[in-house]
Amino acid sequence: MIRLEGVTRRYSSRAGDRVALDNVDLEIGRGEIFGVVGRSGAGKSTLIRTINRLETPDGGRVIVDGEDITALDAKGLLKARRRIGMIFQHFNLLNSKTIEANVAFPLMLEGRPKAEITARVAELLAQLGLAEHAKKYPRQLSGGQKQRVGIARALACGPQVLLCDEATSALDPETTEDILNLLDQLNRELGLTIVMITHQMEVVRRVCDRVAVLKDGKVVETGRTADVFLNPAHPVTQAMLAEDDDGFDAAMAPVGGQMARLTFRGASTYEPELSRIARETGVDYSILSGRISRIRGEPCGQLLVVFTGGDATVAMARLTENGVAVEAIQKEAR
Amino acid sequence: MFDNVNWLEVGKAGIDTLLMLAGSLTLTVAIGIPLGVLLFLSGKGKLAANPVVNAVLSFVVNVLRSLPFIILLIVMLPLTMLLVGTSLGVLGAIPPLVVGTAPFYARLVENALREVDHGVVEATQAMGGSTFQIVMRALLPEALPGIIAGATVSAIALVGYTAMAGVVGAGGLGDLAVRFGYQRFQTDVMFVTVVLLLVLVQILQMLGDWLVARVSHR
């Protein structure tokens, strides 16, 4: 659906050139929710803006639904942008217009007939639970409601792609959950392809099918969310995930024995493998840290344990046989 | 009390002041808004960034703003004759009033446009809005409170300028104050004209504030 080929963007200033995007290749499938994470300044904003060419790349191509966005003339670009919805961290609603006028705005820009606009706006407001706010102004709404208006506005022209620029970063956790559920629902019901940039790992964990990690304008890691989150390969990914947890470094725990990281995925997450195998092999274990959760709906768990007594090697082999990924950790001599 | 006051004259002068104000304010707004939009759009990093256009416009605006109005009145005499056929009366006063105020108002419009959150511009772009649509449908409506507040400030400045325009035979309340109140030491005439001007300024400010409150939804 969306393909970035060698996309590069440089900013030049008197202080010298800065590369915001460095030869980025990405392929985003139709109907996918794709997350792009990275620290601030990694190039996330620039990346998402090349998809509707709010940022024009200095090199490379951006292809959306078979159309080369980077090759379009001014008129073609305006048309292409109508098929790409976008929502923003600070909603960017027009304060001078009512909610219904905000939702009608893109349709009016497109020059649709009045009757059609009225009908479409009423439909969108009802669909997003905003009907009662139609005549209000943005300042009268809460953040979550404003983002709903932003989503209604982005959907007005019936786009195939929705770009989310830190869309939940200004919202409280409960409202974030509400907006994520809504995006998830739109993705399923409309087959909408969603690209979201965020620094909130929790958001990616919750809704993204796949994720790319950006650092200094380069994609350093990409893959299915569960794969990347359970086995982060790049130090930046590892660090961002660690901050997302409590930040407690369990490997520092003052315990002796064989330390191992156990990763459960799918149905095995809920099986009592660990206690059964411990009993059978006669090892004891202490759990140093762990998390059982879902990543994009898939149950998964990751535990850091220390085996003491008995033969840890045998226990780890048995766990591996039973579908648990085991990574033995050598404690560094201190 | 008010022995020297010819109320008919005061009434006539009052109407002249109102006519000068209405005519020059209308033209100031009609010229100032497009000029302010051009100043804004041609600015660095803006939608139609153009350093040359911006520098030229900015220079012209600054030159006109730095000329004392009394000098502008005299310098403009030939141009005024050319434009409206007379340099006297209400009609003759309007060109210098507009030239003196429109650049000032254009700066106020430019500032009001700068106050609009760039996110709104970006969102309109993302929706496929053309630059023209962004200006007409997003920027100007969002900046409307500031644009009206600027028009209020300009209208009040114009009231002051109309008094000076009396020097070149424009008539109006200011002229009355100068010729009778000041030059003939008729303090009562001075008092009446000043009170009337004060009331006018007060009404303009209240009207402006009321309009701003009405269109403000921030």
Angle at CA of residue A69, ends A170 and A198, nearest 5° = 20
A78 closest CB neighbour out of B122, B128, B218: B128
**How does pLDDT run across A195-229, given as a tens digit for each residue?**
999 999 999 999 999 999 999 999 999 999 999 99
Distance separating alpha carbons of residues A102 and A105, to the nearest angstrom: 5
8 Å CB contact of B128 and A90: no
Provide the number of structural domains found in chain B.
1
Q: Has residue B2 been placed in a domain?
A: no
pLDDT at A333: 44
The structure tokens listed for A213 are: 């990690």
For residue A301, is it left (φ>0), alpha (ψ between -120 and 50) or beta? beta
Q: Has residue B194 been placed in a domain?
A: yes
Q: Which residues of A touch B130 (CB under 8 A)?
A: 78
Q: How far is B139 from chain A (nearest CA, A)?
A: 9
Q: What is the pTM of this model?
A: 0.88
Domains and CATH numbers, chain A: 2-242 (3.40.50.300), 250-329 (3.30.70.260)
Report which of A301, A100, A127, A296 is spatially closest to residue A196, judged by C-alpha positions.
Answer: A296
Q: Which residues of B touch A81 (CB under 8 A)?
A: 125-128
Q: Has residue B3 been placed in a domain?
A: no
Residue A49's closest chain B neighbor by CA? B126
| Predicted ipTM of the assembly | 0.87
Q: Has residue B1 been placed in a domain?
A: no
**How does pLDDT run across A316-332, given as a tens digit for each residue?**
999 998 889 998 887 65
In which domain, by residue range, is B125 found? 9-215
Q: How large is the angle between the packed helices B7-41 and B51-66, nearest 10 degrees?
A: 160
8 Å CB contact of B217 and A137: yes
Residue B139's closest chain A neighbor by CA? A94
Q: Has residue B118 been placed in a domain?
A: yes
In total, the C-beta contacts within 8 angstroms joining chain A to chain B are: 68
pLDDT at B165: 85
**CATH number, position B137:** 1.10.3720.10
Query: DSSP 3-state assignment of A208?
Result: coil
Residue numbers of chain B with a pLDDT score lower than 50: none
Residue numbers of chain A with a pLDDT score lower than 50: 333-334
Q: How far is CA A228 from the centre of its chain?
A: 12
pLDDT at B156: 96
Q: What are the backbone dihedrals phi and psi of residue A322, each rounded to the nearest 5 degrees, phi first?
A: -90, 20
8 Å CB contact of A157 and B127: yes
pLDDT at B176: 86
- Percent of chain A whose predicted confidence (pLDDT) is above 90: 67
Contact status of B117 with chain A (Cβ, < 8 Å):
yes
pLDDT at A249: 62
Q: Has residue B4 been placed in a domain?
A: no
Residue B122's closest chain A neighbor by CA? A54
8 Å CB contact of A96 and B215: yes
Residue at token pair 């006063």: B93
